[in-house]
Amino acid sequence: MSVQKVDVLVIGGGIVGACVARELQTSGRQVTLVERGQPGQACSFANAGWLTPCFAMPLPQPGMFWKSIGWLFDPTSPLHIQPNLSPTLVRWMWLFLRAMNREQMEKSVSILTKISSFSLDFYRELGARSKRPIGFENRGLLMVSGTAAGLDYATIEMQLMKERGIDGRLMKQDEALNFEPALRPIVRGGVYFPGEAQADPYATTLAVMDEFTAAGGVSHANAEAYQFEIENGRIRRVLTTRGVFEADLVVLATGAWSKDVAKELKLNIPILGGKGYSMSVDMPEGADSGVDSDFRKPKVPIMIVEKKIAVTPFQNHVRLAGTLELVDQDFSISSRRLQGVHSGAREYLKFDSDFSEARDIWRGLRPCTPDGVPIIGPSTRVSNLFYCAGHQLLGFQSAPGSARLAADLILGRSPLVDPKGFQADRFE
């Protein structure tokens, strides 16, 4: 097979890999990106599309232990963990439980908020300059709850974010229902964050790839990295289905596949795939028949707190997304969980379509680290390996900030944020 010598080899063509490749290419490095499928068609394809620093929360949070135990045995719960005694899951769960404390959560929130805020500004500018429409809209985001406990949770999150410069407004029931006529009276109130935005995740990934290649970057689709040759603690060659690459630096941006790719390097990275679902419900602009109609399109993105369901209005449809199944590499589709997302949304929103009318049903694997913080930094064991992976549910909203931090560390620049919380040595 032919051997190609390259400067930087980025493995992974989702939104994170695309952003890292673009950032390094525009900063003076010569980058080649390889993607096992087509860029942007894995977890970056049909997620909720939220650009919401107000949701820069790690997966493990104080008080989640007992919830996790209950959810473990409920296949329709917002977070479901497939019970098994594999060493990988046991290790992941142990680290997950250790991270469930207030101090760890607040540290994580601070760094995730910063890279998410940077990313929001990047996407706003990308939407203004890109020839490819990315659907960027600054509509804000509304958290709603049908219970007192859920409203308390939203209020706590609002206070956490206010301390970090992200403003929210508490709404009682009447104000929430008047503000968003698509809601049903089950809603007892909510919190509105006016600064948040949305975009089409797939179109956005392609727009970032456009800028990468326009800057001279090289991209290879259907190029799966399947073997690494290590020599003297360094990656000498990367064997892919599109040829062999010799790189000065290898960046791992492989999302939920990172654990398996790292295994080929004899490294043990605790990143597991968290399966999420989405579907679309047709609702063209102006689709309603009066204030009391049972068919009304939301005007802003909505988070249903109790159900952990994300609702995003696009031009001719509404995307419903939700659930997290910690399943590693299981791509099967659960009808019960899909119907749970649809019925949960109908419980809170005014739309009358049946589940059978939902289209574009999709599932993807979110790459979850046990502490809810991505790994961004150099390997401590392989000298020319760099990680940018493990972004849990925040990959789309934090990718440009993660890429900037990665490039800062690679190029020796002053880092965007303190890199300590992202370091690989906490797991390697």
Q: Which domains does the chain have, with CATH numbers?
A: 1-56+101-136+197-269+370-428 (3.50.50.60), 57-85+137-196+273-368 (3.30.9.10)
Angle between helix axes 15-26 and 395-411 (nearest 10 degrees) is 30
**Alpha-carbon distance values, 409 to 204, 221, 249 (Å):** 25, 27, 13
pLDDT tens track for 293-306? 556 899 999 999 99
Q: Are 97 and 65 in contact (CB under 8 A)?
A: yes
Q: How far apart are CA 40 and CA 421, in angstroms?
A: 27
pLDDT for 213: 98
> Nearest Cα to 37, choosing from 333, 365, 282, 354?
365
pLDDT for 289: 45
pLDDT for 64: 64
Positions of the chain with pLDDT under 50 = 289-292
Q: Are 79 and 324 in contact (CB under 8 A)?
A: yes
Report residue 380: phi and psi, to 5°.
-90, -5
Which residues, 6 or more positions from 156, have their beta carbon under 8 angstroms from its beta carbon? none
- This prediction's pTM: 0.94
What share of the chain has pLDDT > 90, as a percent? 78
Burial 146-172 (b: 16+ CB within 10 A, else e): beeebbebbbebbebbeebebebebbe
Q: What is the distance between the terminal CA atoms of the chain, rounded to a whole angstrom?
A: 32
Q: How far apart are CA 373 and CA 359, in angstroms?
A: 32
> Nearest Cα to 49, choosing from 180, 197, 207?
197
Q: How far apart are CA 191 and CA 189, in angstroms?
A: 7
pLDDT tens track for 161-199? 999 999 999 999 999 999 999 999 999 999 999 999 999
Report residue 129: phi and psi, to 5°.
-100, -20
What share of the chain has pLDDT > 70, as a percent? 92
pLDDT for 295: 66
pLDDT for 83: 66
Pull the structure tokens for residue 134.
């990315």
By CB atoms closer than 10 A (0-12, 13-18, 19+), residue 244 is: middle
Helices (H), 148-253: 148-162, 173-179, 201-214
Question: What DSSP string describes 351-392?
Answer: ----GGG-EEEEEEEEEE-TTS--EEEE-SSSTTEEEEE--G
**Alpha-carbon distance values, 397 to 115, 138, 285, 314 (Å):** 9, 13, 25, 17
pLDDT for 71: 60
pLDDT for 291: 46
Q: How far apart are CA 384 and CA 154, in angstroms?
A: 43
Pull the structure tokens for residue 73.
């045995």
